[in-house]
Amino acid sequence: MLKLKAGDEILLSGVIYAARDQAHKRLVEAIKNGRKLPIDIQGRIIYYCGPTKTPKGKIIGSCGPTTSSRMDEFAPILLKAGILGMIGKGRRSKEVVEAIKKYKAGYFLAYAGCGALLNKFVKHMRVAAYQDLGPEAIYELTVQDFPLIVAIDSSGK
């Protein structure tokens, strides 16, 4: 993460977690109450995404980014707990930028409006936690060459 600079274009491969508002709320509540998290977030990247229903023959439905600022109230706590990076679209608050710097993390932009294209980079998907939330559940995604832009690097730029 430390070598990446704002503006870099990268192709991410590996396991990431897709999660939206309600899953973030539950994770933060668990952290605040000292409960064990349902997933290991240490060194992980969270993608602000709630995939659509999976069409027959596909691995995942449309999986474009959602607006990141909706997760700003949760991000500093999750960064402190070990999240390495976040993927979404749009600006981040001053508090999130400060937390990114403090915890040497990063924020990446996924291409907005391209959810039907981005699903082609997802090689495996499974519900990892909070299945009752439907599309707002936490999904474990294995991605290959997932295209991203470094929006905020670990120095806060």
| Chain centre distance of CA 112 | 14
pLDDT at 125: 95
pTM as predicted? 0.94
Mean pLDDT computed over 111-131: 92
**Residues involved in catalysis:** 24
Which of the two residues, 124 and 1, has the higher pLDDT score? Answer: 124
Q: What is the pLDDT of residues 60-111, one digit of tens each?
A: 988 999 999 999 999 999 999 999 999 999 999 999 999 999 999 999 999 9
